Structure 1
Amino acid sequence: MTRAMLISLIAATVMVDQLTKATALSLLSQGTAVPVFPGFNFTLGFNEGASFGMMGGVMAGKPLLMAALTGALALTFAVMAFQARNALERAGFALVVGGAIGNIIDRLRQGAVTDFLDFYWRNWHWPTFNIADIAITLGAVLILAASLPLRRRKEPFLDQS
């Protein structure tokens, strides 16, 4: 994966994330679930904390601090993306960086991250999330996959006697 491809993947991730969030903001009302199919709604929400609302109470009202912390992590992962030699690992870091940038934009623009994807089972709802969160999760999976050792299949020793 070239540097241009890496930058393109980061930019595409940010663009898709921001376009879907803008659509959600324009079409959905906060707290109103729009059923898509059983087990999935579009539900507009805002997250002041970290992933899945963790640290929401601690970070509530501190969007600049959250943006700065996320920015520091994004910068670290961007450096790692450009230094990685494995294409899968580079793509993973690019997705993490693109997702982080998408969420930073939200924090700077409106003080919280826009979430709208709501999966549920009966009365249990997974924390609402967005495309940036999907990119970050997929990126982490790719980074982990790239770190797994490839085991070559060894042929059994054939006795020629």
Structure 2
Amino acid sequence: MTVLGVALTVWVLDVLTKNWAVAALEGRDPLYLIGDWARLLVLRNSGAAFSMATGYTWVLTLIATGVVIAIIRLSSRLRSGWWTLGLGLVLGGALGNLTDRVFRSPGALRGHVVDFIAVGWWPVFNVADSAVVCGAVLLVVLTVLGFDYDGGRSGWAARHEPAAPSADSAAGDAHA
């Protein structure tokens, strides 16, 4: 598993599902899946999550580009599968929404992100948004617990690390 492999998987799923949503749902009544609780409908979002920074699409495009570059630069130093997964999810989600901002209307670097999944009271979102949130939550949990990106451990993770076999016990096992 590589960061780019996870990111590519998320990006492809995001692009495919957004293209499907636009073709199948845009301009139509919501598709209700579970009563009013879960439904599919297309909304175009020029802002960030929760409609923050509406009208600042170009700023969000620059931020997403910075995130993509930072993750790609860090990826060569990763020695943790969980960090690889978390950063791959964030990277794939950032690329998915960045693709919309670059290629969708109203124009390059001003494009609106396609959101189409509505669950409960939560704002309408897409696969990329889900990947960014899940990846970020995973990275926060890893950081709080002390699982480092380079495979090292500190804090809670270091205190709960299984003890490595000692040289004496390893030699004894070899003679048994």
**Residue of structure 2 equivalent to 1:141:** 137
Q: Distance in 1 between matches of 2:161 and 2:85?
A: 27
**Residue of structure 2 equivalent to 1:83:** 77
> Residues 76, 31 of structure 1: CA spacing in aligned structure 2 closer, same or farther, 3 A cutoff?
farther
> Residues 77, 30 of structure 1: CA spacing in aligned structure 2 closer, same or farther, 3 A cutoff?
farther
Q: Distance in 1 between matches of 2:7 and 2:115?
A: 20
Q: Distance in 2 between matches of 1:41 and 1:10?
A: 26
**Residue of structure 1 equivalent to 2:34:** 37
> Residues 37, 89 of structure 1: CA spacing in aligned structure 2 closer, same or farther, 3 A cutoff?
same
**Residue of structure 1 equivalent to 2:17:** 20
Considering fraction of residues, name the structure with more strand: 1
**Residue of structure 2 equivalent to 1:113:** 113
One-letter identity of the residue aligned with 1:82: S
Question: Which of these two proteins has the greater Rg computed from alpha carbons?
Answer: 2
Identity %: 28
**Residue of structure 2 equivalent to 1:51:** 49
Name structure 2 gaps, 5 residues minimum.
105-110, 146-155, 163-176
Runs of 4 or more, structure 1, over 6 Å off, are none
Structure 1 length-normalised TM: 0.80
Deviations 1:95-123 (A, max 9, x none): 10110000000011111100000012xxx
Structure 2 length-normalised TM: 0.74
